[in-house]
Amino acid sequence: MKNIKLIIFDLDGTLIDAYAAIGESFNYVMRNLGLKPQSEGAVRRLVGWGDINLLTPYVLPAGLKSALKLYRGHHKHSLLKYAHLYPGVRSLLLALKKKDYKLAVASNRPSKFSRILLKHLGISVFFDYVLCADQSRYGKPHPEMLNKIVRRFRFKKSQALYVGDMVIDAQAGKRAKIRTIIVTSGSSSRPDIKKEHPFMIIPAVRRLLKLL
């Protein structure tokens, strides 16, 4: 892949494994509201759409505001305890910066929690820009966040690459007309990812360096 100058990353399922942290916070809410806790697999399938959409299928609309407050209060601690980088992520980001790529984040997570994660895991220094759904009119799969990041750096879309893990990442990249690589380490299955025809599918983000 020649002429790439900007690489945009999703967080959860791509660079960071926070599924245990999300599951702990989700089931904390369920227990406090007298609802049935859910399995790791059930919670995992809802990850990637933001915390409001994570809770909506299980909480009545009238209780969503209080459920969200419970979730976010617990999650800022849960992230510090359970979230970790996927193997090779730090080495990958360091190598990309040494090669003078601009690096950005596009996440459906609220910005507060994205920044907690990036700082706690020691990778915030690698990113030139972080954009989250609460800083945008639309979250992924809408292309707005990807388009906004490309415009910020004044690059052509042909000079950008997006890396995510979900069907919605493949859809966002397609709609933004940006080459998109999907890793299979996240919450979408390979067959579902293939249906979206991303530029490439790889098993882990650490493989990215060999492709550039």
What crossing angle do the helices spanning 144-153 and 167-176 adopt, rounded to 10°? 50
Q: How confident is the model at residue 182 (pLDDT cuts 50, 70, 90)?
A: very high
The CATH homologous superfamily of the domain defined by 19-82: Putative phosphatase; domain 2 (1.10.150.240)
CATH classification code of 6-17+85-211: 3.40.50.1000
Whole-model pTM: value is 0.89
Omega into 141 within 30° of 0, i.e. cis? Answer: yes
Burial of 165 (0-12, 13-18, 19+ CB in 10 A): buried
Domain parsing of the chain, residue ranges? 6-17+85-211, 19-82
DSSP 77-90: HHHHHH-EEPTTHH
User: In the block, which residue shows the tokens 């900007």?
Assistant: 6
Dist CA 80 CA 204 (whole Å): 23
Residue pLDDT, tens place only, 139-151 = 999 999 999 999 9
Residue pLDDT, tens place only, 64-116 = 999 999 999 999 899 999 999 999 999 999 999 999 999 999 999 889 889 99
Q: What is the pLDDT of residue 24?
A: 95
Q: What is the pLDDT of residue 201?
A: 97
- Comparing C-alpha atoms, which of 179, 184, 176, 177 is closest to residue 204? 184
State the average pLDDT over residues 14-19: 94
Average pLDDT of the chain, as a whole number? 94
Asked whether the predicted pLDDT for residue 121 surpasses 90, the reply is yes
Residue pLDDT, tens place only, 35-74 = 999 988 888 888 877 788 889 999 989 999 999 999 999 9
Asked whether the predicted pLDDT for residue 175 surpasses 90, the reply is yes
Q: What is the pLDDT of residue 10?
A: 97
